Structure 1
Amino acid sequence: MSGLPKDFMWGAGTSSMQIEGGHASGDRGRCIWDDLGEVPGAIKDGTGANHRGVEHVEMLEVDLNIMKDLSLDSYRFSISWPRVQPTGSGAFNEKGMAFYDRLIDGLLERNIEPNLTLYHWDLPSELQAIGGWTNPQVVDLFGEYAAKMSSRYGDRVKYWATMNEPWCVAWLGNLTGEHAPGIRDLPTAVRVAHQLVRAHARGSQAIKSQSPKVLVGAVNNLTNPMLNGEATQENLKDLQIVDGYKNRWWMQGMYEGKYPADLVEIFEKETGIFCDEKEIGDVSFGRDWIGLNYYNADVFSGGGTGVGLFPGTTSIQGAGYGTERTDMGWSWTPDGIKTTLIEISQKYPDIPVFVSENGSCYNDGPSEDGKIHDAKRDEYLTLYIKSCVEAYKSGVNLKGYYLWSLLDNFEWAWGFEMRFGLVHVDFKNMMKRTPKESALAYRDLIRSSKD
């Protein structure tokens, strides 16, 4: 930890849909994840659309006090678009906006810096009914929503992200269908990928129109594609295509206003759709910071016929790396977060970087002593944070680290089966919160970094 500045920001994150729950309470409008929850088998543990999340709205003060007890410098959260604007257009919901007032004010009262994400996957259902993110009108509505939120909260929130992991929105939501809205169609995914880049530009400009001094960026799950095995010319070409899907499309599109030519060519060849970068708009409003979400490298081996998630690849297949796996089955690749941070810094040396998500899924429950001994999570975090510190010391303009996630919660298509939280939530017993041993270790790390 030596060498880190005292103002290095240590935080944790959550998202609205995962902790606030479904629409059944009547406090918010429907979103595409409510709709997906009504599709039999779409959520692996059978969780329906009207799940309770972890009752964060009802237990706000409890959760704020947990953040203070853990000595967090910052908290990254998302606004539920249908909570503040039930149908995604028209009237805004004062009750919903007042909730985020209480959240933000509660954070500031505890000297915790808010970090706000406008879109973390919970698109209002009414907007999906008109084509969702394929429809340019939704981009315009997103701009109106962004402006309204900025006018409401811009006096108190310094850090803004337009959206979280648009790659997941485009490809997992619209190509594989495992995420909402559950569509399996390549042309749709391509159109969504284009409009999301436009939405970042449009949303950033809207935020700054109301609050010129705030700092706006985007949060992407960037990665370092790697081969576990012999590298051939064909394999390396495929890795470059994967890099285009996961990294270059979003970073070049959102931060430079241009698209990688190889992906534009693939999309046009596969779908007949030409993504015109001239339609992106002015990206200068949304490049104040870069958010990196990183869990593991995308690992492949040769000898395959291409990976369906990356159309255009022809000679690779999915592979693991090493012997360690989280309970999600994800390989440990702590060196990869350092590599990725260095690559970002080399391409965008003047833009501050935050690790906006990093964490691991281990489903440990309470032991006989009532404690949650999540030793594997602790070991994982030690290695990844060490790599982040090494990246900073190598010259990366790294300003902070957000651990994912603060609480066990609704883990998207997995339902409540998978636990990423620092804090254990007893889903069957009043949503009781119990900090895990990793949470206490993280608290001690934060405190020691300020000494």
Structure 2
Amino acid sequence: MTATFSHKRTDFPDGFLFGAATSATQIEGTAFGGAGASHWDTFALTPGNVVRAETAARACDHYHRWAEDLDLVAAAGFDAYRFSINWARLLPEGMGAPNPAAISFYDRLIDGMLERGMQPFITLYHWDLPSTLAHRGGWANRDITGWFTDYALTVQRRFGDRLASTATLNEPWCVAWLSHFLGLHAPGLRDISAAARAMHFTLTAHAEALAALRAEGAKSLGIVLNFEHIEPASPGDEGAAATEEALFNRWFAEALALGRYPAEALEGLERWLPARWQADLDTIRAPLDWLGVNYYRRALKATAPGSPWPASREVEGPLPKTTMGWEILPDGLADRLTKLAQLFPGLPLYVTENGMSANDHIHDGAVADPERIAYVDAHLAACRAAIAAGVPLKGYFYWSLMDNYEWALGYDKRFGLIHVDSESLKRTPKWSYQAFQHMLLPRTLPSR
């Protein structure tokens, strides 16, 4: 198989953006530049939480190698780069005076993107909550709405004049449910009350920050949600699938679009929501400029008799899988984009994450990853199908630019277009990176 996709840049509408995505904690190295501790730093140091107790202390050392990494983004032909600010790096205490080293770093990083003709797409929160705020209840404390808004304004006032787009949160389902109910991510709680409050306060924090950023004159504001194609594992499992659909795919999207939470999720969560939660829904429903869509897989759900609500479990399906064990269903992306276009009429959508982990190894100086090329190719076809059906899809960002710290899974799972050696940190572009080059170059730089 050659390192090419079956698509051309010209198969997509004029102005359609192609980009690569990363997050701060996963690549920068939290031990550098005066960063404060985040709840991920402490979570990783607790035995049993992360594979081999691996931490993000060094990660990919993007903090020092950012210029090399941006050169690779540009050399692939990407139009935009989606990255995040580490809240604990910028504000080591979670609030108060910014860290001068962090300001200098992000200044250089953003200017470096512009110098290379790339649009900076920033994410304010990609899971690195300062430990000082985690100690005060974090996302389960209503006060986080104000803490996050103050942080968002700090970012806007320091860097906003150079940003193409700003997302408030990345994947609030992971911030709230995965981390406070399932306990798989920091802070590692398994508490339905904390989870319900976090499911609500992520949205109040988004809404208040959105309003404050608009008042400061910020443009192109959105949020990034994750979605799965959920199906019942067998006849009789429809109720379990409907509950999981409500929790995973509908809770955040319907709150933002319609100012309501789905009844199937309220059945288990309403008791634990904060007092007067209904009064927040009109604010949460404030208009967006765009919506980010993260999509990776299909998930089969079955009932779990005898278990507390939501009384569901995941069942392994028959489709091809990534090394994450995730079933590959590209048509699910087209289906989700179509549903979101109906839920948010006329709202621009971006695929802000899509990609696969694979067993990537260097042989003779190259990394052959034909499975990843096929995965991306099929999902680009799904994007084209959605566009042909009238979905206002404006861009596609691959996750991830490089192999990185994959949270609780440490460094084993490789999603990158660029292989990163775990010891030397040497960057080696994979075949999939070359496929993007073949599709995207030559790139017409925007006028300056």
Same fold (TM over 0.5): yes
Aligned counterparts of 2:32 and 2:99: Cα–Cα separation in 1: 14
Aligned counterparts of 1:120 and 1:76: Cα–Cα separation in 2: 11
CA drift of 1:397 comes to: 0.6
Aligned counterparts of 1:10 and 1:174: Cα–Cα separation in 2: 33
User: Aligned match of 1:27 in 14, 29, 34?
Assistant: 34
Q: Which amino acid aligns with 1:168?
A: C
8 Å contact 1:300–1:320 — kept in the other structure? no
Residue in 2 that maps onto 1:394: 389
Residue in 2 that maps onto 1:6: 14
Residue in 2 that maps onto 1:351: 347
Counterparts in 2 of 1:207 and 1:273: CA distance versus 1, 3 Å: closer
Residue in 1 that maps onto 2:305: 305
CA drift of 1:284 comes to: 6.0
Matched, 1:81 2:84: no
User: Aligned match of 2:103 in 89, 97, 104?
Assistant: 97
8 Å contact 1:241–1:312 — kept in the other structure? no
Worse overlay, 417-426 or 260-269? 260-269
Aligned counterparts of 2:310 and 2:177: Cα–Cα separation in 1: 15
Aligned counterparts of 2:406 and 2:133: Cα–Cα separation in 1: 23
Matched, 1:218 2:223: yes
Aligned counterparts of 1:273 and 1:204: Cα–Cα separation in 2: 21
Residue in 1 that maps onto 2:375: 380
Uncovered stretches (5+) of structure 1, i.e. residues with no partner: none
Matched, 1:51 2:57: yes
SS of corresponding position for 2:251: helix
CA drift of 1:286 comes to: 5.3
- The answer to which structure, 1 or 2, has the higher relative contact order (CA under 8 A, 6+ apart) is 2
8 Å contact 1:334–1:383 — kept in the other structure? yes
Deviation track 1:55-104 (CA, whole Å, cap 9, x = no partner) reads 00100110110011001100000000011111111111122122111111
Aligned counterparts of 1:304 and 1:135: Cα–Cα separation in 2: 31
Deviation track 1:380-436 (CA, whole Å, cap 9, x = no partner) reads 11111111111111111100000000010000001111111000001211x111100
Q: Which amino acid aligns with 1:439?
A: Y
Correspondence list, 1:416-427, <5 A? 416-427=411-422
Counterparts in 2 of 1:286 and 1:110: CA distance versus 1, 3 Å: farther
Residue in 2 that maps onto 1:414: 409
Q: Which amino acid aligns with 2:230?
A: P
Aligned counterparts of 1:221 and 1:394: Cα–Cα separation in 2: 22
8 Å contact 2:197–2:273 — kept in the other structure? no
SS of corresponding position for 2:154: helix
CA drift of 1:281 comes to: 5.5
8 Å contact 2:232–2:240 — kept in the other structure? no
Q: Which amino acid aligns with 2:420?
A: V
8 Å contact 1:83–1:97 — kept in the other structure? no
CA drift of 1:274 comes to: 5.8
8 Å contact 1:218–1:286 — kept in the other structure? no
Correspondence list, 1:156-175, <5 A? 156-175=162-181
Residue in 1 that maps onto 2:23: 15
Aligned counterparts of 1:285 and 1:107: Cα–Cα separation in 2: 30
Q: Which amino acid aligns with 1:237?
A: G
Counterparts in 2 of 1:3 and 1:408: CA distance versus 1, 3 Å: closer
8 Å contact 1:154–1:211 — kept in the other structure? no
CA drift of 1:255 comes to: 3.6
Counterparts in 2 of 1:96 and 1:327: CA distance versus 1, 3 Å: same
CA drift of 1:3 comes to: 4.5
Residue in 1 that maps onto 2:68: 62
SS of corresponding position for 1:355: strand
CA drift of 1:298 comes to: 2.2
Counterparts in 2 of 1:341 and 1:17: CA distance versus 1, 3 Å: same
SS of corresponding position for 1:427: coil
Q: Which amino acid aligns with 1:292?
A: V
Residue in 2 that maps onto 1:71: 77
Residue in 1 that maps onto 2:438: 444
User: Aligned match of 1:148 in 147, 154, 167?
Assistant: 154
Aligned counterparts of 2:443 and 2:70: Cα–Cα separation in 1: 22
Counterparts in 2 of 1:435 and 1:90: CA distance versus 1, 3 Å: same
Q: Which amino acid aligns with 1:357?
A: E
Q: Which amino acid aligns with 1:38?
A: L
CA drift of 1:332 comes to: 0.7
**Number of residues paired by the alignment?**
436
CA drift of 1:324 comes to: 1.2
Residue in 2 that maps onto 1:332: 328
Aligned counterparts of 2:414 and 2:11: Cα–Cα separation in 1: 32
Aligned counterparts of 2:255 and 2:94: Cα–Cα separation in 1: 25
SS of corresponding position for 1:299: strand
Residue in 2 that maps onto 1:38: 45
Aligned counterparts of 2:122 and 2:258: Cα–Cα separation in 1: 23
Counterparts in 2 of 1:288 and 1:261: CA distance versus 1, 3 Å: same
Residue in 2 that maps onto 1:320: 316
SS of corresponding position for 2:297: coil
Percent of aligned positions that are identical: 38
Aligned counterparts of 2:190 and 2:239: Cα–Cα separation in 1: 25
SS of corresponding position for 2:83: strand
8 Å contact 1:45–1:417 — kept in the other structure? no
Q: Which amino acid aligns with 2:37?
A: R
Q: Which amino acid aligns with 1:29?
A: G
8 Å contact 2:353–2:396 — kept in the other structure? yes
Residue in 1 that maps onto 2:293: 292
8 Å contact 2:21–2:400 — kept in the other structure? yes
Counterparts in 2 of 1:40 and 1:394: CA distance versus 1, 3 Å: same
Q: TM-score, normalized by length of structure 2? A: 0.93
Worse overlay, 242-251 or 439-448? 439-448
Counterparts in 2 of 1:393 and 1:60: CA distance versus 1, 3 Å: same
Uncovered stretches (5+) of structure 2, i.e. residues with no partner: 1-6
Deviation track 1:325-357 (CA, whole Å, cap 9, x = no partner) reads 111111111111111111101111210000000
8 Å contact 1:81–1:123 — kept in the other structure? yes
Aligned counterparts of 1:283 and 1:268: Cα–Cα separation in 2: 17
Worse overlay, 249-258 or 150-159? 249-258
RMSD: 2.0
Aligned counterparts of 1:377 and 1:275: Cα–Cα separation in 2: 47
8 Å contact 1:305–1:313 — kept in the other structure? no
Deviation track 1:248-267 (CA, whole Å, cap 9, x = no partner) reads 21012234333223422321
Aligned counterparts of 1:296 and 1:163: Cα–Cα separation in 2: 21
